[in-house]
Every structure is written in C-alpha cells, then in structure tokens.
Chain A
Amino acid sequence: MAQNQPERGQRGLPGGSPRYSAFALAKKAMNYHQDWQRAWRDPEPKSKYDVVIIGGGGHGLATAYYLAAVHGITNIAVIEKGWIGGGNTGRNTTIIRSNYLWDESAAIYEHSMKLWEGMTQDLNFNVMFSQRGVLTISHSEHELREMSRRVHAIRLNGIDSDILGPAEIKKFVPIINIDQSIRYPVMGGFLQKRGGTARHDAVAWGYARAGDDLGVDIIQKCEVTGLRRQGRKIVGVETSRGFIKTKKVGCVVAGHSSVVAAMAGIRLPIASRPLQALVSEPIKPILDTVIMSNAVHMYISQSDKGEMVLGAGVDKYNSYAQRGSFPVPEHMLAAAVELFPVLSRLRMLRHWGGIVDTCPDASPIISKTDIEGLYFDCGWGTGGFKATPGSGHVFADLIANDSPNKIAAPYTLDRFRSGLLIDEHGAAGVAH
C-alpha cells in the first residue's frame, strides 16, 4: 500500500495564477504589498451547474478541487452559508496522523497522508504541513497492551509507528512529567513520525484558490434551504440566492448533515455534538511535537505563533450551539497540568466549540443515497481535519463515477444495515 501514490491531478497546472513564490513576494514588497490579487473570485451563482457541493469547509473545497483537477469536471459550485473555512475547518486542533487500527481506516487516512505530503506543491499554497510527529501516550498496562496490538496492525499496513517507553518519551518530550506516582502515569506511548500539524485556514484557502483557478465557483453567504427532486432524482438545490439546477449534489456539511439529509427525507445515524478546544497566550517554543492521551481526553501541540493548542473529548449531549460545557475543558486542563506541570500558570486566551457529526462506529460515511444524484460525505466526527484531502479525493471520485472506489467502498450508509461496521472507537473516539 505504501507504494501506491494517489492520482494528484494536473500537477503544476492548477494552483492559482499568478503563482505564489519567494520571487513574487519580493517583487510585491517594492509596492508595499498593495497590489496582491484576490485569491479567488466572488461570483454570482449561475442557474445551472454539473455538480453542486454543499458546504465550503476543507472537505467540500477539496472535493471540488479534485473533481476539477483529477476528473476534469469544472462546472461546479461550492455553496457555503457562512464564509469558507469558518466552521470546523477553522475550529479544529490541526492534528494529522494515519495510525488507525482497521485496514479500511488505514487505507483512507494513509491515502490522505500521502496527499498532505505533496499538498503545498499541488496547490501552490503553503499549508505549513509540519511532520513533527504525533505521540499517543498510555497510562495503564492494559492500555499499553492494546496499544502494542494496534501498533503491529498499523505496521502491517505499511504505516510508520513506533512504541516508546517512559524514558524514551522523556527524551523526546523533555517537559513531560513521567513520575509514576501521578494519577495517570505515563507508562508508554506510540509515535507516528510522519504525523504532525498543518495550518487549517491555509488548507481551506489553498483549495479554494486552486479550485477557483480551475473554474470552480465558490459562493459564500448562500444557504441551502431545500433539495428539489423529481421522483427519486435530484434536479436542483433551493438556496437563499435562488434555485440552482443540477443533477449531482455532494453534501459535505459536517454537524448539519442530519439537517440537510432531512430536506431529502433521509435519516442518518449521526449525532451532532460540540467538540471544544482552546489556545493559550503565545510562549517560547517548548513543545515540538503533538501529544495525545485517549485515557485522559487531552491533546496538545504548540502552534508556530507559540500558542499552546489544546483539545478535549466531545460533550455528552447533542447540540448545534458551537459552544460546549465547562466541565469538559476543565477535565482536560487538569490532565494537561498533571502531565505538563510547566503549563500550570499559563493563561488561556480563546476557547470555542465546533459541532461535529459523530457516527456510532466512529467512522465516516462516504456514500450514495437512495436518491439518484445525492451523495453524502459526513460522520467524520472528531477526526475530520486530518482526512481533508483524502476525503475530498475519494468523494470526488464517487461523485464523478457514481460508484465508490476501493477506498470509499467500506464507508457506505448501507453498513448500518449489513452490520459491517468499522469500529474505530479505540483510535478515533477521542482526539483531534
């Protein structure tokens, strides 16, 4: 699997014009950076498109880009009710990894990882992809055993993964507390060196600019109010800016998936929950990797600006409010301070929530529906950011060919009837 490279599309061609480069930067500096062009147009919606993508987040924009770059379908609209990347794309903790237990998950997340590795070049947009490593720590002997099982499964799929003992962890992350007397002592961990972070806004902007350059219309401040169909066929979408005729609709709306599905009379196994994160004041570099702990529901990294970025587990009740309950970050901060005592006097600057679409098996849905021309890419739950390019790539393939490819095939909506679930709660239930 490690040898198979994804089809990246017309490399070197798309990516926005004029191209961004160090030379362009120096040239524009002469004019005090006054005359940078718009990165993408702000078009009025046309009356008809070949494909309409609902949702201008990372996954939706990636879908539009790959439809244009790989499949040559350029008469596409991406419809976004707010502004692009203003939902979960701008609210996550930007962690990227592909160390999942099951073969199906390994296939899609590793597919995604390969696309991340070339994304900055593909899009001619610096997404600041930094393979600084993702270290998942365990706090009990049982968790350690489960972890070693997972590591072996991951390695069999050709994905890099190493087990570290407490002393090695201390060497890798000098600020961590490995004292065995604390409530949740560090007993070991596993590291994916190719994992890391990327700049989340840049991912949305990069896909938007490259897609726009290939002819994709990105229509912001345009809310979908209904799906029009004839019998079992989609004929268009009703929006706040008028009716748009189309035969294919790709729905990539994360937390609002159930709401859009209800417009078409489709029911999904999804619960929308708040997922919270927070950032601290910026400090000097103290952490050059990503640390996750599933047992204490905490993950932490340091942004290039110097802020400590922390995330927690999902709240326990359904919500569309983009804010969560206080006990969740309180619990996560308690764990963070115990593992990293150096953080105890750090002040937190911002705190927010995003609404994630959680599935019963913690795996996504990339699927056709009973209605011809209506496709769903949802259920990414707490771990959607890392999958952005892979999700968009396989979803574009599904929309273009009207049948799922090998990677997307296990993620049908039908798995909830057949019972062929992809139970990733162990790897995906908490973090990201």
Chain B
Amino acid sequence: MLIIPCPYCGPRDEIEFACGGEAHIARPLAKNTITDAEFADYLFIRDNPKGVFLERWCHSAGCRRWFNVARDTVTHEIIEVYQMGSTPKKAISKTSYSSSWRRNTMAEKAAKPYKRSKSGRVK
C-alpha cells in the first residue's frame, strides 16, 4: 500500500491515484526523419529499473492533476514528488534522470525545452 504525497492535496491513499508509467518521454516531433525504431522507443520501449524509477501519477480521484514521482521499485519508498515539466531535485533521482538512455534519443534532442510562467505553469 502506497501513501502518495500529491503536491497539490497532500498525502493520500494510492486508490485515489492512477499510475501513468515512465516519466520524461519526449514525443518525437512529426517529421519524416524519425525512423520506425525511434518511434518504437517512444511507443513501446520502457525503462524498467530495479531501483529508482521516475514515473508519472495522476490524482484521478482528487485534484485530477498529473505530477512526477521518483520511487524505488524494490522498497516502494517514494523518494520525491515533483511537478510536470520539471526534473528531479534529489541526488539519487537526479542520477537516474541524467543516466537514462532517453536523454540521448533523437526525440528528446529535438524537443523544445519547457517554458514556465511566473506562476510556475508550463506554457
């Protein structure tokens, strides 16, 4: 049983949430230069680490907002919770983010960086 700290509502029971799987997957921009293999990376290939995993959750029976969670898949410990459009802050989840093969994909390199307004919202 997980108690997930929703960044907007606080800690709640996991039955209020939906899990959206791996986070930080950039959509390949619709260009003819994208190969089938690169599109398969986006559609099907998933990180499945034994250890720190960066994933998306939606508080579907609460505020209905999406956010990111860094969680250990062996201990189920939630390491940190951070907003959509941002990257993890703690060292252990930072390493997990930067060492992922996804950082080197064509899709990610072609994606535009997020822009935030003063209120913190992603434009």
Residues of A within 8 A of B (CB): 256, 258-259, 267-272, 316-321, 325-327, 360, 416-419
Contact = CB atoms under 8 A, between A and B. Distances in A.
A226 to B, nearest CB: 15
Interface stretch (B68-76, B83-91, B112-120): B68-76
Contacts of B50: 256, 258-259, 272, 320
Contacts of B9: none
B70 to A, nearest CB: 13
Contacts of A268: 45-46, 48
Given A318-B73, A417-B37, 15 more contacts: A267-B45, A267-B101, A268-B45, A269-B44, A270-B48, A272-B50, A317-B2, A321-B76, A325-B1, A325-B14, A416-B40, A416-B43, A416-B44, A417-B36, A417-B40
Contacts of A271: 21, 46, 48
Nearest to B4: A317
A224 to B, nearest CB: 14
A327 B73 CA distance: 18
B11 interface: no
B34 interface: no
A316 B71 CA distance: 14
B55 interface: yes
B15 interface: yes
B74 A321 contact: yes
Interface residues of B, number: 26
Contacts of B62: none
A189 B13 CA distance: 35
B46 A269 contact: yes
A247 B120 CA distance: 55
B19 interface: yes
B29 interface: no
B18 interface: yes
Contacts of B75: 321
A327 B71 CA distance: 19
B62 to A, nearest CB: 15
B14 A327 contact: yes
B48 A360 contact: no
A317 B19 contact: yes
Contacts of B19: 316-317
A319 B43 CA distance: 21
Given A317-B55, A320-B74, A360 B2 contact: no
A325 B71 CA distance: 15
A316 B18 CA distance: 8
Contacts of A325: 1-2, 14
Contacts of A258: 48-50
